Structure 1
Amino acid sequence: MDRSDAVELQALKSDSFGRIALMRGADGIPFVRRDLRFVPLWLRAPAWWLARREARALRCVAGLPAMPQLLGWDGRVLDRSFLDGAAMYQRPPRGDVAYFRSARRLLQRLHRAGIAHNDLAKEANWLVLTDGSPGIIDFQLAVRGRQRSRWMRLLAREDLRHLLKHKRMYCAHALTPVEKRLLKRHSWLREAWFATGKPVYRFVTRRILKWEDNEGQGPKP
């Protein structure tokens, strides 16, 4: 469907890797647009790489519930379906056992599709939809692969650990003994990230891009 005549309803986020806005198409249906045309010239290559990565991941989750569906990607603009809800930190699911039970099932479906999200530590990437159920967004760092490969199983376990950390924050009484043991197990991947990757990430985002740690929303206005 042609969305060139879409109308912007609301700016959702703007950072060094693109501008994200809630749009309304000619059919009246809202959708979300990531527009790379606002990206500084020196960052267009990594912004394009991240958007292409997201588009490929969204193709893999086509048809899955509570996840964005890819509507279009032309190398400059990525359009995806709109999920009506609020980020977890905006509408915390405190004491909501059903939410975390559904979130774990949703994560299992994602992993069965051959996708590890790889960025679920951010509460901004977990939604509480209008009916109170979970949703997952922002697939820029998602990894595709064979579900049963050692690498994908490791990434899937890290996805689950991040979900359980949120559960510990908002619904600790419902953690099972198995979940508590999983939270205590730190993989080599996590240790490597904290030792090498995270310092580099902080330097780039805070010193170069001038971001603040704002739940993954990019720079504060």
Structure 2
Amino acid sequence: MMFPALWLAFIACTAASVLRKQINAIPIAYRTVGADQAAKYQSKGTIQWEVPTVRQLGSSDQLGQGVYLSPVLGDWPGEANGYFCAILADSTAWNNINKVYMPKETTDESPKPLWFTQGVPNRPAFLMTVGGRGYTTANTVLISPIYGSEEKTQFLIPPALLSSSNPLSISVQCAAKSNGPAWQALQAAYGTINWRNWQGLKGPVP
């Protein structure tokens, strides 16, 4: 049986090894998932978007459909037997993808809502205004505060960017919440995501 300190060192070295092998991979976010979802991620080697079976009011539909992520490991506590996952992407693909900060409403003289169902018809025009004709809800990563916890930030990757072709070359590394040394090693390896410094980020970033 490994002592905790040695196990932590082993996990940290493993994380560093993964980074060396995937030389162009950069950490872009974290996600907290249940055991079943973590098993799917491990099987596929990447994250997936699945049509929700139950509609829940909250961040799950705040910005539209897709996978919601966080810049901070553990921002969403999740289930006690869940997993913390670090999400990585190819640096070139990530730098080139559209990224827009989306506030609760537009910032013009007649503000229009951008979140939840009320915001659906207004998002395309907002994206075109801040990004141009090439920015759509299908090809743009959205960033916003989390409704009800505005001190926290979330990212939405739309389904089209999570297709089977994996255009962002996304990979995932997960650790059980019950395995403190493992998820602490993930946190130490990748830290908090400094999304404000993302290349190409547009929109009214606070």
Q: TM-score under structure 1 normalisation?
A: 0.24
Taking CA–CA contacts closer than 8 Å with sequence separation of 6 or more, which of the two structures ends up with the larger relative contact order? 2
Question: Would you tell me which structure has more helix in proportion to its own residues?
Answer: 1
TM-score w.r.t. the length of structure 2 is 0.25
